[in-house]
A and B are shown apart, each in its own frame.
Chain A
Amino acid sequence: QKEVEQDPGPLSVPEGAIVSLNCTYSNSAFQYFMWYRQYSRKGPELLMYTYSSGNKEDGRFTAQVDKSSKYISLFIRDSQPSDSATYLCAGGGGGSNYKLTFGKGTLLTVNP
């Protein structure tokens, strides 16, 4: 079992839809979680950083962490065509505090 599992999609939604992206993880030592957005042939760009269970909101983006079920989510409200990208979840902390473990990424397309 990989430490971070993520449905690769692809996921296709109409403009304006609410998007839900999800990951599960197995490493109980993870202390913080990140969501990165990666456009085609570009490097990953940090979207959200969460350190504890609960919700964190930033504009149209909400990150949710449930440590009891080892489940993390990213919600995108009022999705735009510019949100079309691959979204990567990652967990970090614990014994190897510096190292991020990534899911494989979910490819999202928002259709105008």
Chain B
Amino acid sequence: GAGVSQSPSNKVTEKGKDVELRCDPISGHTALYWYRQSLGQGLEFLIYFQGNSAPDKSGLPSDRFSAERTGGSVSTLTIQRTQQEDSAVYLCASSLSSSGNTIYFGEGSWLTVV
């Protein structure tokens, strides 16, 4: 596709439920990133993929968060047993490679946990 595509764009879920957020990066981009943006906060790094491998998962807040990438393309971020503090915008981004290339963001998945 022309840009990074994320779904759903909006999600309201009940506390304790699991959610899956999907990212479809720009075609040919080998590097994929997940960031989180909370109200009044900057973008917080969550995880980085190079191909299907995740060399850096250091930003995942807890073991309730996991992510995978298949076929070197689509990635899914899963949040288990959601909590209210998980409410945020989850932004996916991709770049041609990991070495200082321009990083392009999707529109984000706006998650509200009630």
Contact = CB atoms under 8 A, between A and B. Distances in A.
A and B: partners? yes
Interface size class of B (residues with CB under 8 A): 20 to 34
A50 to B, nearest CB: 11
Contact of A98 (B35, B43, B99): B99
B83 to A, nearest CB: 23
Contacts of A104: 40-42
A102 B43 contact: yes
Contact of A97 (B98, B104, B108): B98
Given A41-B110, A99-B48, A49 B42 contact: no
- The main secondary structure of chain A at its interface with chain B is strand
Contact of B99 (A42, A90, A97, A100): A97
B42 A102 contact: yes
Q: Which size bracket describes the interface of A in this complex?
A: 20 to 34
A92 B106 contact: no
Interface of A: 4, 6, 8, 31-32, 34, 36, 41-46, 49, 51, 88, 90, 92-93, 96-105
Interface of B: 4, 31, 33, 35, 40-43, 45, 48, 50, 56, 91, 95, 98-100, 102-108, 110
Given A43-B108, A88-B42, A98-B33, 10 more contacts: A34-B102, A36-B105, A43-B105, A44-B105, A51-B100, A97-B99, A97-B100, A98-B98, A100-B103, A103-B42
